[in-house]
A and B are shown apart, each in its own frame.
Chain A
Amino acid sequence: MKPRRNKSLLSLALSSLLVPAAALGAVASVSTAAHAAPAKKVSSKAEKAVCKVHAVLASKEGDGKIPKNLEFMKEWLIDEPYDRYKSFHLLGSKKVDLKANKATATAFKTGHKMKLSLLGGDEKKLKLHLDLTHRDGIENLVTMQYSIEDNGLFFVEGGEHKSGEVTGRIFWAIQCARR
């Protein structure tokens, strides 16, 4: 009985703090959004975009630390499905400038070749076309179209790969934003 009464009191106290704070926060957010809205112009058509593609080797051996050059995607690397790996090694990173309906190819030192094109999009999302070859650079592994919010990360995981003493799986993290 006593713990329940204590919990009720605590909940009541917290609620009395929460309600005014939330109300003030909501009013302020609406006010800020209203001021910000006129300044924010979003192009409904995506004509140009820039993408960065990171090729990463994920290994099940390692100390679990995320290297500095992959710190920006730490949130993904410590979460499913990449939390199964113990180390990550950046194999290469490429910047790809995209124009609407024009394919841009980029090659990685692993031998894989990637082709990206901007198919369009709406206010929020970019629609992209992706081709990726086998490590021989010739045989196609996949052809796909996908949409993703500006700056969203899309992952493509390939086969086993060995780089120096490290063996693991190679994956590509693709981030695109309209320009």
Chain B
Amino acid sequence: MTNQVGTSGVSRDELALHFDGESTGAEAHELAAQIDADPELREELAQLGVVRGLVQETLKTKAAEIPQARFEQIWDEIDRQLDREAAAAGPSAGSLWSRVWTALRPVRIPLAAAAAAAAVTLVVVSVMDSDPSDKGVAAENNPGAVASAQEPAAEQEPETAPAPGTGSKDAPSALPAGDRMALAQEPSSPDPSSDGLDEVDDLPSPKKVEAEIHGVEFSGHTGRISKTGTVTVLYLEEEAQPKDTERSL
């Protein structure tokens, strides 16, 4: 047989099985004795060891090239998938609500659109119908009007004036009018002595938008950028050893 090692009568397959520890009992003893007695078999066995070492090292090197964050992402995706499957098989699957929701599937989009249009109409009609004496109230529903009407209104009606520190002088002129309205509603009392927490409530609610990356340099570390359409996350690799910073809580 061409598969035999030298003149030993032992095939490479048998030797490979023995190398992997898969030969058993008398067969294993016999092979071990033959290997001890035959330098050709020993050489072949040694080569198998070298090949296995090479393969292992290559795989280890490739694995090391994959950042830890990537592994975590994969496990997280598996977790999510399991959660989804568990939720799908949950007791609520046959509930009245889920049956109604399923029945409405073909008309969900028209229903949602109709509801949205009705809401817009309601808002518009209420703004149009508002009495001029209620201008302050109307302005709250009409962000565009706030930009021009807010300052005089603040002078005439002290009870609607912005909180200290967030008045018209401090309000950013370039911020969207609606955002300025939010600023006026939020109290601002900076307390620099607070424990690592600056009072930063003078910005409006954040927007769900993607960032545009122009350039990034990881300074010898690894990292990656993830975009989901509404959020951009820059992942950085830092030393794995957690550092206890109890004082920061």
Contacts and interface: CB of A to CB of B under 8 A. Distances in A.
Interface of A: 7, 10-11, 14-15, 17-18, 21-22, 24-25, 28-29, 32-33, 35-37, 39-43, 46, 50, 52, 54, 69, 72-73, 75-76, 79-81, 83-84, 89-95, 108-111, 125, 127, 132, 134-135, 139-164, 166-167, 171, 173, 175, 177-179
A4 to B, nearest CB: 10
Given A92-B196, A140-B219, A159-B238, A109 B148 contact: no
A10 B221 CA distance: 59
Contact of B249 (A89, A132, A175): A89
B197 A92 contact: yes
B117 A158 contact: no
A153 B234 CA distance: 12
B2 interface: no
A94 B174 CA distance: 22
Interface residues of B, number: 79
A163 B236 contact: no
Interface of B: 69, 73, 76, 79-80, 106-107, 110-111, 113-114, 117-118, 120-121, 124, 127-128, 142-145, 147-148, 172-177, 179, 190, 196-200, 202-219, 221, 223, 226, 228, 230-249
A175 B203 contact: yes
B196 A162 contact: no
Contacts of B172: 50, 177-179
Given A40-B177, A89-B249, A152 B211 contact: yes
A158 B236 contact: yes
Nearest to A144: B216
Contact of A28 (B114, B124, B212, B221): B124
A89 B246 CA distance: 12
Contacts of A162: 242-245
Contacts of B230: 79
Contacts of B233: 81, 155-157, 171
Nearest to B111: A14
Contacts of A140: 219
A95 B144 CA distance: 28
Contacts of A150: 174-176, 207
Contacts of A161: 242-243, 245
Contacts of A80: 228, 231
Contacts of A178: 172, 174-175
A141 B218 contact: yes
- Cβ-closest 8 pairs across A and B: A36-B144, A159-B238, A28-B124, A52-B200, A21-B117, A25-B120, A162-B242, A109-B248
Nearest to B224: A157
Contacts of A151: 175, 179, 203-207
A25 B210 CA distance: 28
B206 A92 contact: no
Given A21-B117, A35-B144, A94-B198, A43 B242 contact: no
